[in-house]
Amino acid sequence: MQKLTNKEEEIMHILWRLEKAFVKDVLAEIKDDKPHYNTLSTIIRHLEEKGYVSYNAYGKTHQYYPIIKKEDYKAKYMNTAIANYFNNSYKNMVSFFAKEEKISVEELKEIIDIIEKKK
């Protein structure tokens, strides 16, 4: 599974949400920095080449759909991020977000509850 560019990842999030879409449907979902239709079509074809999407052909038009699950992508790249930025330590990751005030005490307690329920 190849790493996606930021724009490819944005497109994949749209496709995961829509499940199936034509290029015009994806274009309609992009809020900021809308690419030209042809540019978007090229990005989606790159996603196909990378093995992330496939399509159903309707004449000259293609309806694209994801073939990689969002959960699979998230698992692979979250593990990579934790390895690269937090020295394979989930404790370091959670500590980072706590220091940056990106996670509250209540959320930390919820995480502890989840862990304790798993035991």
pLDDT score of 78:
87
Burial pattern 28-67, b for ≥16 Cβ within 10 A else e, equals eeeeeeeeeeeebbebbebbeeeebbebeeeeeebebebe
Q: How does the average pLDDT of the chain come out, rounded?
A: 92
Report whether CATH 1.10.3720.10 matches the domain 6-66. no
pLDDT score of 56:
96
The model's pLDDT over 48-68, given as tens digits with 9 standing for 90+, comes to: 999 999 999 999 999 999 999
The model's pLDDT over 64-94, given as tens digits with 9 standing for 90+, comes to: 999 999 999 988 888 888 999 999 998 898 8
pTM for the structure as a whole? 0.77
Q: Judge whether 28 and 71 are in contact, CB under 8 Å.
A: no
